[in-house]
Amino acid sequence: MAFYNFYKFKKKTKIIQKIISTGDLNRIMSEINSDKIFLKIDIEGSEYFILNEIIQNQERIVGLVIEFHNIQRNMDILTNFIKKFKLEITHIHPNNYSKLDKDGNPEIIEMSFEKNPQILGDEKIFPNALDMKNWKRGPDIEINFYE
């Protein structure tokens, strides 16, 4: 059944894969005739250059999966983005290929955001049963959460 649902999803979905730079996301979004856009962004450290464009188009975005590099150096930018972005964080996972900083935190994290997520329970378990390590043979990394 899961394969069928994935196949159905794929048939209804238009996938656009592009190499982009600052300004390109706004242009690409203007060419898409949908208000249900799901973005997957993995641009090796350049993600910080398009965060404002994601914010500008957030009303049309239903989901975002994004990898953030050098998070300690860019923590203020990342925090500001999360505050402005109206979608909810539904998942966070460290990339275990990344190095750890002096406090034991990963340099690379992957985050998922959703519009109107369905809450399945109140128990927070990290890593989640659906989590997969980026490097299968490497140790998983725990995340330190701060208030």
Mean pLDDT of the residues in the chain: 81
Region 101-129: mean pLDDT is 80
Report the DSSP beta bridge partners of residue 117: none
The alpha carbon dihedral of 83, 86, 91, 92 has a sign of: negative
Q: Is residue 48, in this structure, part of any structural domain at all? A: yes
Q: How many domains is the chain partitioned into structurally?
A: 1
pTM of the predicted model as reported, rounded to 2 decimal places: 0.78
Q: Which domain holds residue 63?
A: 22-137
Q: Give a yes or no: residue 52 inside a domain.
A: yes
Q: How confident is the model at residue 1 (pLDDT cuts 50, 70, 90)?
A: very low
Is there a domain that residue 109 lies in? yes
Is the pLDDT at 106 greater than 50? The verdict is yes
- Domain assignment present for residue 12? The answer is no
In a domain? residue 111: yes
Confirm whether 4 is domain-assigned. Answer: no
| Residue 143 counted as domain residue | no
Q: What is the mean pLDDT of residues 5-25?
A: 64
In a domain, 3, yes or no: no
Q: pLDDT, tens digit, for every residue of 43-98? A: 887 899 899 999 999 999 999 999 999 988 999 999 999 999 999 998 888 887 77
